[in-house]
Amino acid sequence: MLTEHWLNSYIAMCSQQESPVPYIGNVNETEVQQFKDPGCLRMVAKGSGRSPDDVDEIVYPVRVHHLRSQEALMSSSGAERDEEIRMLRQFVKIIGAGCPAYDEIQQKVQEVYASFQNGNHQGAMKTMDWNQYDGQYAVDSHTRYFTERRHAPSLGHQPFPMDVDPDHVLEELRGTKYIRCEENVVQYLRKVNCLEAGSKYVRISPGLFKEGDIVEIWAAFVAYPAGKNEFKLVLAMRSLVLLTEQFREEGEERREVARRARAEIIATARAGSRPVLPTSRSLKRRYMEVAIEEEDTADDIVRKK
């Protein structure tokens, strides 16, 4: 497949110019630390936590074919609506498009999971959910739009940028209970000239991402509280990068050509099943033959008298 070939070429280029590891690196060079504001467990660079203000979060690149999912706010009220607001997420479902290197992710995630399990914390650890899509393993990556203010009292609210919240819907939803902090920020970028040396990242609107694009996500492993003495491991999205929409657009064009061809076939079949009726313009009307000498009218007879 052309998509798989393109993705393999891109990963090979990145391995030569940027990082030799296409996905998750050496877990032995990391460690799991406990954090507050908000409370969670994070994978960080080993030895970087000598000072609470000097900790390097480990963020990994994942180059994939992606399926984007929209998080919708349901119409409800009270506690149910509040829970829905809390759960609103920036979310993508990703697959490897047949790329062999993508198969390594599951093994690496198990190593990450073991590292979190063996971390210095109390409580059970739930791993990430793996689902199948189109016969391939798919993994979800997300970041919530909001953090409850009570879970991060030392942090202030960061306004939503216009490209993320153009109609101020999220700003109105958060009220006074929620804030947007660093934990909720996702960069939306395009990588220009991604198959060439000297590529660069530029900021774009989230609305430009479509289902079927080839993207690169940069994500961190974070374990959030999921109940009493329980944590849930999450692939927390930090950046969503558009690599190319070429294959999606080509697929859409092929589908449109096929749709028009089907419509034409159906129209032709329908026209052939109905008799073609003549119009009045094609009708040859017959008239009575009239003699050259016309009969006298009633007025002519009166005048003759």
Cβ atoms of 43 and 225 closer than 8 Å:
no
Is residue 62 included in any domain, yes or no? Answer: yes
Q: Residue 187 has what pLDDT? A: 93
Domain count of the chain?
1
Beta-carbon-side half-sphere exposure of residue 123 (alpha carbons within 13 Å)? 19
Using one digit for the tens of pLDDT, what is the confidence trace for 40-99?
A: 999 888 776 555 566 778 787 776 656 655 444 444 445 568 888 888 999 888 877 667
Whole-angstrom distance, CA of residue 64 vs CA of residue 7 = 8
Two structure tokens written together for 97: 């498009």
Q: What percent of the chain has pLDDT over 90?
A: 25
Using one digit for the tens of pLDDT, what is the confidence trace for 176-195?
A: 999 999 999 999 999 998 87
> Which of 41, 93, 44, 47 is CA-nearest to residue 209?
93
Is residue 28 included in any domain, yes or no? Answer: yes
Two structure tokens written together for 293: 């000498």
pTM assigned to the model: 0.77
Is residue 161 included in any domain, yes or no? Answer: yes
Full domain range(s) for residue 198: 2-252
Phi first, then psi, for residue 95 (nearest 5°) are -130, 165
Residue listed under structure tokens 């877990």: 27
Is residue 292 included in any domain, yes or no? Answer: no
Contacts of 111 (CB under 8 A, 6+ apart): 24, 27
Using one digit for the tens of pLDDT, what is the confidence trace for 273-305?
A: 666 677 777 777 777 777 666 555 555 545 555
Whole-angstrom distance, CA of residue 211 vs CA of residue 190 = 15
Q: Residue 161 has what pLDDT? A: 92
> Which of 91, 88, 98, 102 is CA-nearest to residue 68?
91
Is residue 298 included in any domain, yes or no? Answer: no
Whole-angstrom distance, CA of residue 29 vs CA of residue 27 = 5
Is residue 210 included in any domain, yes or no? Answer: yes
Is residue 272 included in any domain, yes or no? Answer: no
Q: Is the pLDDT of residue 201 over 80?
A: yes
Q: What is the mean pLDDT of residues 106-110?
A: 80
187-192-194-196 Cα dihedral, nearest 10 degrees: -150
Cβ atoms of 24 and 112 closer than 8 Å:
yes
Is residue 293 included in any domain, yes or no? Answer: no
241-143-63-223 Cα dihedral, nearest 10 degrees: 150
* Cα→Cα distances 202→82, 207, 210, 241, Å: 35, 15, 17, 9
